[in-house]
Structure 1
Amino acid sequence: MKRGMGTTLLASGIVLGALQFAAPWVQGAEPARGLKETRNYTVTTAPVDQLHLETPKVPDLSGYTAEAVEAKIDRSRPGRVVVRRMLQQDALKDFIGGDERLREWVKRQQGMPQAIFIEGGHVTPADIARALPDHQFAEVEPGVYLSRLPLVVAQDANLEIGKATRDFRLSQERGAFLVNDGKLFIKDSRLTAWREKDKAPAHFRSPSEFRPFLVSWGGSELYIVGSTVTSLGYDNSKSYGVSITQYTPGMHARLKRAEPTGWLLDSEFVDHWYGFYCYEAANVVIKGNTYRDNIVYGIDPHDRSHGLIIADNTVHGTKKKHGIIISREVDDSWIVNNRSYDNKLSGIVIDRNSVNNLVAWNEVYRNHADGITLYESSNNLLWGNKILSNKRHGIRVRNSVNIRLYENLSAANGLTGVYGHIKDLSNTDRNVELDPFDTKVSLILVGGKLAGNGSSPLSIDSPLSVELYDVELLAPSKSTGISFAGILGEKQDEILDLMVRRKQAVLIDPVESQAELQD
């Protein structure tokens, strides 16, 4: 018996509860386009041994430390500091392409725009201050440095912003930002977007207002440990805040740089447009950080990134969207032991064909939409998460198959403990060639507890398959007893007899799928 091939398994362990399987036309919903409006099911018992999974393993995190970062810094070869025009520089082309962006720096620098380049070896902020006049880069007070030009760490160089630097400031008025094309270390220090007029961080005011940012390009390595990073980024390409990103496709085809990577450890990221963003990055480690009061997202790995470790972080107060989201083919990654709460929308989101990810042992609570949301992302495992008091659903699964939910607690959420549904996205603004989808949903639920949710423990519309075993289902706040709705209502007596009285696993099998298996 193969999972996702028309087998639906339900089992005992139910205490006072309401269990609902709702067709798309139940509760005011419309049938998804292209779906049959009737489906026959049979009810039988089934073995449960195939549902057993060992506790998932995560990578060894013990090596991601400040000491390990320190060992990566090569101070053997002094670098040099030079100032060049921004034009015709590969690392800056994305920021001066087109008349509008070029005008931004012409206006701020009041002339042909220039940037500081770190080349040839190891450089510190003190080295830069000694090499340049104050109107370009200055130590404004002991250990506090202000860059009034964009700064680029070249391929063969490394910039160390260490403990001797109390604050490394990027002038908003002068259009400063930080580009890493080599190796950048920020260790036991601060990085601040600085509004000189206010003598204060460049706190967010509007999406279109330029704010300094940090971008780490293809082939680079970025290390931030034990530091505070404040007020970076705005709504413009690659300028979001702290970004680790491959070069744009045209540049990458020419430069052929390796996938960028980095470690962000035990640091605080506050008031960024995006707290973290990556694109086509590999093996990035985001561990032990706090992301608070960021604007759009807290942590946002994006297109075709893989092998990511997002562990032991606290993410809260995101103002526009989600706390943690991975989106568009972000695969083979670990989201473990995080706390995501009080975010504007969901706490954790797996989105747009992101597969083979483990979401485990997270605490996700008091978010203003769902706790954990999966959109069009099949073959993911959620294990041992605590999902509490979110305003909408605890776990929401849309257009995704083989979603395995093991040992999760989903309790006191405003709507459903686990909600699975299908949606036709053809007539939305979605690019279906870039982000394809199937209107199919299947879930496997084993262990854990669904308790005290607002409408029901579990609601599925038009499932391809659902397997449930040994899940404790406690009464929702609107308790109506154990009841099935819609397409499974006529089978309720058989299901409850096997599930409650006999304490056996139940197989609820769509007749169409049985016929398919016999072909």
Structure 2
Amino acid sequence: MKAAINCFALVALVLVSISPAHGAGSRHGAIRGSTATPPVVTAPALEDYGMEVQSSEAVVRDKPELPDLSGYTREGVEARLNGRPDGPPQVVVQRIADVAALGDFVDEGRAREWVVRQFSHPQAILVNSGKVTLEDVHRLVNDKRYVEKREDGAYIVRLPLAIRQDATLVLRDDTLLLSEERGSFIANDGWMFAIDSKILGWREKENGPAVFRKAADFRPFFVSWGGSETFILGTEMAYLGYNQSKSYGFSVAQYSEFDNARLKRSAPHAWLVESTFHEIYYGFYCYEAEDVAIVNNVYHDNIVYGIDPHDYSSNLIIAGNEVYGTREKHGIIISREVNDSWIIGNRSYRNGLSGIVLDRQSRRNVVADNVVYDNNGDGIGLYESPDNLLWGNRLMNNLRNGIRVRNSTDVGVYHNVAVFNGTWGILGQLKDLSATDRDFEEDFYDYAVSMTVVGGELASNASGPINTDNPQYIALYGVDMRFPRSKAGIHFSGVLGEHQMQIFDALMNQDRAVLLQPLSMR
């Protein structure tokens, strides 16, 4: 009987520690305003918590309906390409000025970078219309100073390459080398297809790839703008990007609010399928993008992030990817109101910090069926991001927690397995961020945490199965907490510790759910 009690205790602990802090109606109130003094927070005393035993029906739910991935295939990409109109290719070399797709790179003094590299007023290769191949670009430019075809068949492009709104650029079985010395990059304002190809940042002086040196050092990059469509299939993209806006490596971004008031472009879309992305400053970045599918790719050895959807993007699918070896930070992160998206069936491991992160008010996302292990941070972290669902993930041998829920509310933690992690299986954390450089007008948060933990397993985590700061509520049901690492077995502390025997009895002997919350909120 003692062993059985210890098992269930571990489960309960895991459930408690998952609570993210972004829910409306926080008991402690939202911290807002970069110049405002954060409110004084007084945590409820332990005796203020009450426990209610409930039917399992109060917390059990069906598995979420996941998106259909069957269309994101070679056949699907080819069908999109076949739907593009044929037409005579038109390609010209002209000055960068007044080309919308290049505007970000000549404003605010950035033009100097291209003046220095081109030794003249900056120019670009413009794909103006038609369905255009790299051989078309080479033939129509007809100038080795700008485009050269090497003996091995690879093309070196020595100017920025812009695809205009009505044009389509098609790479098929091609190798495209973007010259670092001459400031080459790709800006897609129309349609681009890269199929079974290579797109590499290239250092001509060394006749080799533009290996990362410093964040501030220019490297070629790819950006796809508002209204554009990008399809990457079976392609290798590498040695791209540096620390400048929209120059991070592979970016899909809406125009600025000022520019889009004039251009009136819809959100950019992209499919990235069965491709490899490595040695890129940000392996993937997006801004105000919609309906982006990142399916069955490999992201390895990227610099800051592997996959990083950002700022007000929605309806994203990140599925079936292998993400590992990110040097500085997280394998997969969505940040700043990236909503209504799916992170499903990925493997994220051996990254510089965490495997998967939801950050800064990212809501209504489903994180399901991922395998996350051997990361130098948490397995999954929810930071200031309420109303999310974690379902059926496996989190193993991460240096910190299996799951961390910080300043986030109404988090569902269902049927997850967190084992052999360096601290807690699940940690629910309240953290005052007022000492950071965060802009609290843009990145407000609620100092609160709450969660529902159902099913799954929390075993052999170094600090225990679960721990949480004082939550708005925590609901537990059916969690397997066998095999604690400590010989003393499972012992709850804090909110759970006050009701430990009643929790064990309800979960194990009665097969009932448990709800703990402050008496003042009941």
Question: Do they superpose with TM above 0.5?
Answer: yes
1:36 corresponds to: 43
In structure 2, how many angstroms separate the alpha carbons of the residues matched to 1:273 and 1:406? 34
1:226 corresponds to: 234
Cα root mean square deviation, aligned: 1.8
In structure 2, how many angstroms separate the alpha carbons of the residues matched to 1:270 and 1:349? 20
1:36 deviates by 3.4
**More displaced stretch, 465-474 vs 81-90:** 81-90
2:132 corresponds to: 123
Taking the TM superposition and a 5 Å limit, the aligned residue runs for 1:207-218 are 207-218=215-226
1:9-41 per-residue CA deviation (whole Å, 9 max, x = no partner) reads xxx98627556579xxxxxxxx99422352412
Say whether residues 1:15 and 2:7 are aligned partners: yes
Residue pair 1:13, 1:471 contacting (<8 A) in 2 also: no
Match of 1:496 among 504, 517, 521: 504
1:156 corresponds to: 166
1:138 deviates by 1.1
1:28 corresponds to: none
1:143-177 per-residue CA deviation (whole Å, 9 max, x = no partner) reads 310100001000010000112x2x11100000000
Match of 1:103 among 108, 112, 133: 112
**Matched residue type, 1:239:** S
1:60 corresponds to: 68
1:495 deviates by 3.0
**Matched residue type, 2:310:** H
Length, aligned pairs only = 492
In structure 2, how many angstroms separate the alpha carbons of the residues matched to 1:499 and 1:113? 69
Structure with bigger RCO (C-alpha 8 Å, 6+ apart): 2
* Matched residue SS, 2:50: strand
In structure 1, how many angstroms separate the alpha carbons of the residues matched to 2:515 and 2:323? 40
In structure 2, how many angstroms separate the alpha carbons of the residues matched to 1:105 and 1:149? 9
Match of 2:438 among 425, 430, 441: 430
**Matched residue type, 1:36:** A
In structure 2, how many angstroms separate the alpha carbons of the residues matched to 1:13 and 1:416? 19
**Matched residue type, 1:287:** V
1:482 deviates by 2.9
* Matched residue SS, 2:471: coil
**Matched residue type, 2:127:** I
Say whether residues 1:388 and 2:393 are aligned partners: no
Taking the TM superposition and a 5 Å limit, the aligned residue runs for 1:465-480 are 465-480=473-488
What TM-score does the superposition give when structure 2 sets the normalisation length?
Answer: 0.91
Q: Which runs of 5+ in 1 are unaligned?
A: 1-11, 23-30, 515-519
**More displaced stretch, 447-456 vs 502-511:** 502-511
Residue pair 2:94, 2:123 contacting (<8 A) in 1 also: yes
* Matched residue SS, 2:521: helix
In structure 2, how many angstroms separate the alpha carbons of the residues matched to 1:143 and 1:75? 27
1:295 corresponds to: 303
Residue pair 1:457, 1:474 contacting (<8 A) in 2 also: no
In structure 2, how many angstroms separate the alpha carbons of the residues matched to 1:146 and 1:435? 42
**Matched residue type, 2:262:** R
2:35 corresponds to: none
1:500 deviates by 3.9
**Matched residue type, 2:113:** E
Q: Which runs of 5+ in 2 are unaligned?
A: 18-37
1:268-301 per-residue CA deviation (whole Å, 9 max, x = no partner) reads 0010000000000000000010000000000000
1:374 corresponds to: 382
In structure 2, how many angstroms separate the alpha carbons of the residues matched to 1:68 and 1:13? 52
1:517 corresponds to: none
Taking the TM superposition and a 5 Å limit, the aligned residue runs for 1:162-177 are 162-163=172-173, 165=174, 167-177=175-185
2:193 corresponds to: 185
1:488 deviates by 4.1
1:437-496 per-residue CA deviation (whole Å, 9 max, x = no partner) reads 111101111111001101110101101111110000123322422322134433333333
In structure 1, how many angstroms separate the alpha carbons of the residues matched to 2:8 and 2:363? 35
In structure 1, how many angstroms separate the alpha carbons of the residues matched to 2:239 and 2:5? 49
Residue pair 2:478, 2:507 contacting (<8 A) in 1 also: no
Residue pair 1:243, 1:276 contacting (<8 A) in 2 also: yes
* Matched residue SS, 2:385: coil
**More displaced stretch, 58-67 vs 464-473:** 58-67
In structure 1, how many angstroms separate the alpha carbons of the residues matched to 2:314 and 2:76? 22
Residue pair 2:484, 2:490 contacting (<8 A) in 1 also: no
In structure 1, how many angstroms separate the alpha carbons of the residues matched to 2:8 and 2:293? 43
2:468 corresponds to: 460
